[in-house]
């Protein structure tokens, strides 16, 4: 009886119209062999000098479903065509959509993308490129310790050419004693940093945790490229 009630409750919850959506943006390099149309030589960390495609991809954060994609030549910059991608993604949202959030890495750190998101009343968390003015501020911030060698801070800044100031969230960790092949954050002094630009009002730690959930996209892309489905 109890199990039946739980099952019915889940059915009702999942059958109700969706109102919130999370759009995870990413790009990937698809190495090509042969003479495919629009195959070009660009940034290729897998096979240097090989022609490739550099598609833009979007996945829905709740369901992890593929939402939309744009095929591009291998020499395309990460942010090129992002506005067209966003227009297509938003066109697929149902009429019930009331809250939309975007998550993206530093390849999408572009004021045009942020302005477009705000114009469409979307929330966003995007990894910021660490320009010299941002790097200069990192060591002078007041950090909040969250335990586990993790601390956060925040500041307002108006990057060059941007219309207004935005909120930047900083995550700081000590540099590991054991060297790793690749640090996921920017090293400065005794710490490594990651900076996010956002219009979310949540606490800095919650903003970072929300962005971190996007990491599952990398695994989804690997599975798609390997024909795992």
Mean pLDDT (whole number) for 62-86:
81
Q: How far apart are CA 207 and CA 169, in angstroms?
A: 8
Residues 119 and 135 in one domain: no
pLDDT of residue 83: 93
How many Cβ atoms are within 10 Å of 10's Cβ, its own excluded? 10
Q: How far apart are CA 193 and CA 150, in angstroms?
A: 10
Residues 33 and 122 in one domain: yes
Mean pLDDT lowest among 130-139, 141-150, 214-223 = 214-223
Q: How far apart are CA 142 and CA 148, in angstroms?
A: 18
Residues 75 and 150 in one domain: no
Q: How many domains does the chain have?
A: 2
pLDDT at 71 over 90: no
How many Cβ atoms are within 10 Å of 85's Cβ, its own excluded? 25
pLDDT of residue 202: 93
Residues 72 and 112 in one domain: yes
Residue 144: give the domain boundaries: 128-198
Residues 89 and 38 in one domain: yes
Residues 163 and 62 in one domain: no
Residue 184: band (very low, low, confident or very high) from pLDDT cuts 50, 70, 90: low
pLDDT of residue 28: 76
Q: How far apart are CA 97 and CA 21, in angstroms?
A: 7
pLDDT of residue 79: 77
The answer to whether position 159 is within a domain reads: yes
Residues 163 and 102 in one domain: no
């Amino acid at each position: 009886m109890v199990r039946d009630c739980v099952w019915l409750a889940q059915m009702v919850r999942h059958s109700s119209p969706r109102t919130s959506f999370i759009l995870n943006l990413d790009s990937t390099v698809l190495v090509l062999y042969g003479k495919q149309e629009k195959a070009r030589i660009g940034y290729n960390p897998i096979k240097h000098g090989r022609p490739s495609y550099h598609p833009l991809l979007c996945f829905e954060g709740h369901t992890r479903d593929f939402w939309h994609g744009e095929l591009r030549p291998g020499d395309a910059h990460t942010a090129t065509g992002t506005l067209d991608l966003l227009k297509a993604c938003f066109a697929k949202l149902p009429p019930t959509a009331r809250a939309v959030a975007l998550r993206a890495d530093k390849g999408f750190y572009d004021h045009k993308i942020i302005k477009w998101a705000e114009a469409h009343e979307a929330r966003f968390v995007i990894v910021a490129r660490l320009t010299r003015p941002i790097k200069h501020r990192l060591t002078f911030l007041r950090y909040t310790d969250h335990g586990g060698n993790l601390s956060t801070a925040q500041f307002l800044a108006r990057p060059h050419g941007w219309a207004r100031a935005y909120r930047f969230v900083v995550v700081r960790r000590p540099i590991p004693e054991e060297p790793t092949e690749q640090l996921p954050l920017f090293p400065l002094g005794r710490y490594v940093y990651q900076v996010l630009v956002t219009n979310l009002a949540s606490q800095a730690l919650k903003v970072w945790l929300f962005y971190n959930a996007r990491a599952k996209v990398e695994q989804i892309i690997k599975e798609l490229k390997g024909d795992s489905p």
